[in-house]
Amino acid sequence: MTEEIQEISELSAEFNKSIYPIFQCSRMDIVVIGGGAAGMAAASKAKRVNRDANVTVIESGSFVSYAECGIPYFLQGIVKSPNDLLHYPPEEFTQKRGIKVITGRVVTKIDTASLSVLLDNGTAVKFDRLIIATGARPRIPQGIATGVLGIRSLESAIRLKEIIDRSKTITIIGAGVLGVELASTLTEAGKKVKVISKYDRVMPQLDPDIGQILNDYFASRVNVEFSSSPVEIKQDEDQYAIKTTVDDHRSDLVIAAVGIVPNSNIAQDAGIKLDQRGAIITDSHMETSTPGIYAAGDVATVKNIITGEEEMMPLAQIANKAGRVAGSNAAGSEMNFPGAVGSTLVKVFDMEVGFTGLNEKRATASGIEFGKTLIKAKSRANYYPGKEDIYVKILYRNSDKRIIGGQVLGKDGAAWRLNTLATAIFAGFTVEDLFYDDLGYTPPFGPVWDPLIIAGSVSMRE
Amino acid sequence: MTEEIQEISELSAEFNKSIYPIFQCSRMDIVVIGGGAAGMAAASKAKRVNRDANVTVIESGSFVSYAECGIPYFLQGIVKSPNDLLHYPPEEFTQKRGIKVITGRVVTKIDTASLSVLLDNGTAVKFDRLIIATGARPRIPQGIATGVLGIRSLESAIRLKEIIDRSKTITIIGAGVLGVELASTLTEAGKKVKVISKYDRVMPQLDPDIGQILNDYFASRVNVEFSSSPVEIKQDEDQYAIKTTVDDHRSDLVIAAVGIVPNSNIAQDAGIKLDQRGAIITDSHMETSTPGIYAAGDVATVKNIITGEEEMMPLAQIANKAGRVAGSNAAGSEMNFPGAVGSTLVKVFDMEVGFTGLNEKRATASGIEFGKTLIKAKSRANYYPGKEDIYVKILYRNSDKRIIGGQVLGKDGAAWRLNTLATAIFAGFTVEDLFYDDLGYTPPFGPVWDPLIIAGSVSMRE
């Protein structure tokens, strides 16, 4: 840490108490690296908090503020134009919000001595406060150098869509959230999809019991090669030849969906602390180990409310909120990110799938003694049309019966039950609190003993 | 309070500590008056807690354990047979659960001296513990003696359905939750429905701002006479002639939906304390002012978590839980009902409508200084098909920004957002907690800034 930064840090304690800085002689320079969800939320909030600040966003691609989570639906064809995925046109930021946006420029270095970032065209941009929101890139499967595409930006999605349009057979490596989502949307788009999973079932985030139910549903719709890893992928005339640990395949396109790697190299080079996954460690201000430098979004950690540990939770809604917190603190108005539980939803064909908090594997790894309840119930009153099976699983700590994780699966109303459960976990509910939770009821939307209430009730008895 | 009851009460403190009574010489007699949701939940729980107890349910009608909330859908014709509304056949209780069920008998007196209830056939049934779950009856509009039907039991619904089937025009008096639900289901069943509302809009539980949106939607589908009350209803050949304060009408059938009155006369006669609406006042054990006598369901109060007051919340899910609590305590295993927030859902044509906690009128009456936020947003990502407008209103206490009420309206995903909001209010969330609530997100089920999060965010700024 340099002297200069230390000084800023000492001032910042005072600074943060007031929305309007009183000691500032010149306009404050706030630089944001990355124009995704976290970056644009940070920039917008910083400018709102401090109208006099110069806020600059530097984005390596040509788009800012686009809906990354919409890409699978653009690839499917449900979303017709990439423009539909832009939350706002660039003018919203540049003209209406007074933010400077530089696109197509990569930040090659963060210089904490001169308080500036260096761009790939050699120019330097000064900052008083810096927000790193560089996101993450797709992980490329081990040992595979070429021939596999990932989804990392709207540009890459536009190119991928062109290839998808002329492909009949698609291999997806990985069956996590993105893998099953892509397999589902591309199958619905009429493609012949094959999934290579290194696990014995899809979506290993779900525990084996409830996960098996999704797995059966998924595997009856998509060809999955389980317990398999790619060994070699070669371009072979118009197709790719894929050699796995299990078999040989051919397809027109190979997409990798085996996780992401945070884009934290420039942060690491600047001496900013990373966790073991390479994510930038932040505190509740979304401030990094270097005072005055903040991080948010897929590149940064947030606190897991249940374990208390800082960890990557690469989820859009967390990126948005953490970005806002980073921007607010950078501009001088204190906000504290309380942490999150990692609530995740995905639509797999007609199935709504969600998980939040810890699963069994993670709870065990965290040394938590826990009980568990898995129930199957109906999504609506038994006599009301449209009811479907719904599965609810909850994990609770034995010591105090506090709920530490939830998983929900079903075709009708499962996603929002997961959100209700996530709210309960975020609030620190015990299984008894969940039983008494005052959910509204009417036959078209649930049975009188809602699956969530049943899960609470059964857990009380254990 | 008689000596005998006092004695039981003194013993009960000891008794309640143990699931298995140790001092009991003969089998305990637990009597439940009423075989609806609360009564059957109480009886079932009591028998589970104390296998040796004699548990007797006395029901004035011929059905026990039926889904009262399903009646509008039976009247509509969506639910074909009244049998579909039975949660369980009587044998479930009598044979499988070992509960004695007496149907078609009315309890005329609770005799606290002899610890027995008297039936309308002159027999007496002894009890050690009594649970009153007599429910409520429809209120008949002031000044109207005959010619108007209410919904009070499955039997009455079966008779009403026969009349509906031969009616073309139906007048509904009252535009609260049941009134709009019936108007919606009966209009969908092809009936020409007229609603008489004494208010200037339907569902006055909603605040005027969000309520007006529902009102416009409803009034474009159903003929409503606002600010009107019935003065006289006369049978006139095959129809009814209805004279209101506004106009004269004719219709084949008149249904009253102007609220309910708790069936608490026998409790009152036995010296049990009622509140100003006539509901039996209970504590967190669902015990009445007379020790050893419990009450649950529409006849009893529960604690409003926000105001701390005991009040009627005639809702099925509360009846079920409060019944279970009453049954458990009566049988000797302590359970505490923590209170509720009165979460209510209703489907009005394609509109999902819900409210929870306090509305403006109630908050003002409770002397709470509050702020409010009403937002309109989309139910799904902007680019994802099937999105609809959704309105979220929250009220929050100025002193600590704790959320004290919520109202949600929309055609897609509004009901379960209300439930998520209800969970947040039940948990004691501030507007900031709501903003940070870690809701899962994927484009088919919501936008990345969910309407609930936006409501929290906007409220933080106020």
Which tens digit of pLDDT belongs to each residue from A82-99?
A: 999 998 888 899 999 999
Which tens digit of pLDDT belongs to each residue from A150-188?
A: 887 899 999 999 999 999 999 999 999 999 999 999 999
- Mean pLDDT estimate for chain A: 93
**Model pLDDT, residue B149:** 86
Give φ, ψ of B160 to 5 degrees: -60, -40
**Would you place residue A25 in the very low, low, confident or very high pLDDT band (cuts 50, 70, 90)?**
low
- Is the Cβ pair B67, A448 closer than 8 Å? yes
| % of residues, chain A, pLDDT over 70 | 94
Does position A403 have pLDDT exceeding 60, yes or no? yes
Minimal Cβ distance to A345: which of B354, B417, B445:
B445
Q: How many Cα atoms are found within 13 Å in the side-chain-facing hemisphere of A139?
A: 16
**Model pLDDT, residue A451:** 98
- Determine the residue of chain A that is closest to B70 in CA distance: A443
Interface test with A, best of B383, B417, B429, B432 (most A CBs within 10 A): B383
A381: which chain B residues are within 8 Å (Cβ-Cβ)? Answer: 67, 69-70
B67 or A7, higher pLDDT: B67
**Model pLDDT, residue B148:** 83
Which tens digit of pLDDT belongs to each residue from A48-69?
A: 999 999 999 999 999 999 899 9
Sheet holding A253-256, edge to edge: A223-225, A192-196, A169-173, A253-256
Give φ, ψ of A346 to 5 degrees: -150, 140
**Model pLDDT, residue A372:** 98
As a three-state string, the secondary structure of chain A is CCHHHHHHHHHHHHHCCCCCCCCCCCCCEEEEECCCHHHHHHHHHHHHHCCCCEEEEEECCCCCCECHHHHHHHHHCCCCCHHHHECCCHHHHHHHCCCEEEECCCEEEEECCCCEEEECCCCEEECCEEEECCCEEECCCCCCCCCCECCCCHHHHHHHHHHHHCCCEEEEECCCHHHHHHHHHHHHCCCEEEEECCCCCCCCCCCHHHHHHHHHHHHCCCEEECCCCEEEEEEECCEEEEEECCCEEEECEEEECCCEEECCHHHHHCCCCECCCCCECCCCCCECCCCCEEECCCCEEEEECCCCCEEECCCHHHHHHHHHHHHHHHHCCCCCCCCECCCEEEEECCEEEEEEECCHHHHHHCCCCEEEEEEEEECCCCCCCCCCEEEEEEEEECCCCEEEEEEEEECCCHHHHHHHHHHHHHCCCEHHHHHHCCCCCCCCCCCCCCHHHHHHHHHHHC
- Is the Cβ pair A381, B341 closer than 8 Å? no
Active-site residue, from A8, A67, A69, A219:
A69
**Would you place residue B25 in the very low, low, confident or very high pLDDT band (cuts 50, 70, 90)?**
low
- Is the Cβ pair A441, B315 closer than 8 Å? yes
Which tens digit of pLDDT belongs to each residue from A368-382?
A: 999 999 999 999 999
Which tens digit of pLDDT belongs to each residue from B296-339?
A: 999 999 999 999 999 999 999 999 999 999 999 999 999 999 99
Minimal Cβ distance to B419: which of A340, A347, A440:
A440
- In the predicted model, what is the mean pLDDT of residues A121-134? 97
- In the predicted model, what is the mean pLDDT of residues A232-259? 93
- Is the Cβ pair A439, B382 closer than 8 Å? no
**Model pLDDT, residue A238:** 86
Active-site residue, from B69, B158, B163, B381:
B69
C-alpha torsion A417→A420→A422→A424, nearest 10? -130
**CA distance, residue A19 to nearest chain B CA (Å):** 13
Q: How many CB atoms lie within 10 A of CB B37?
A: 30
A446: which chain B residues are within 8 Å (Cβ-Cβ)? Answer: 415
- Is the Cβ pair B341, A384 closer than 8 Å? no
- Is the Cβ pair B384, A449 closer than 8 Å? no
- Determine the residue of chain A that is closest to B445 in CA distance: A415
**Model pLDDT, residue A26:** 74
Does position B147 have pLDDT exceeding 80, yes or no? no
A318: which chain B residues are within 8 Å (Cβ-Cβ)? Answer: 438
- Mean pLDDT estimate for chain B: 93
Does position B21 have pLDDT exceeding 70, yes or no? no
| DSSP line for B262-305 | E--HHHHHTT--B-TTSPBP--TT-B-SSTTEEE-STTBEEEBT
| % of residues, chain A, pLDDT over 90 | 87
- In the predicted model, what is the mean pLDDT of residues B237-263? 94
Does position A5 have pLDDT exceeding 80, yes or no? no
> Is A69 part of the annotated catalytic residue set?
yes
**Model pLDDT, residue A148:** 83
Q: Give the predicted TM-score (pTM) of the model.
A: 0.93
| Dist CA B138 CA B263 (whole Å) | 10
Does position B2 have pLDDT exceeding 60, yes or no? no
**Would you place residue B20 in the very low, low, confident or very high pLDDT band (cuts 50, 70, 90)?**
very low
Minimal Cβ distance to A384: which of B73, B413, B420:
B73
Does position A281 have pLDDT exceeding 80, yes or no? yes
**Model pLDDT, residue A144:** 81
**Would you place residue B16 in the very low, low, confident or very high pLDDT band (cuts 50, 70, 90)?**
very low
- Is the Cβ pair B347, A445 closer than 8 Å? yes
Which tens digit of pLDDT belongs to each residue from A420-445?
A: 999 999 999 999 999 999 999 999 99
- Is the Cβ pair A317, B453 closer than 8 Å? yes
Asked if this assembly's ipTM is beyond 0.90, the reply is: yes
Sheet holding B293-295, edge to edge: B100-103, B54-59, B29-33, B129-132, B293-295
Question: CA of B288: how far to CAs of A4, B4, B117, in Å?
Answer: 70, 16, 16
- Determine the residue of chain B that is closest to A344 in CA distance: B440
**Inter-chain contacts counted by CB atoms under 8 A, chains A and B:** 204
**Model pLDDT, residue B204:** 97
Does position B10 have pLDDT exceeding 80, yes or no? no
B377: which chain A residues are within 8 Å (Cβ-Cβ)? Answer: none
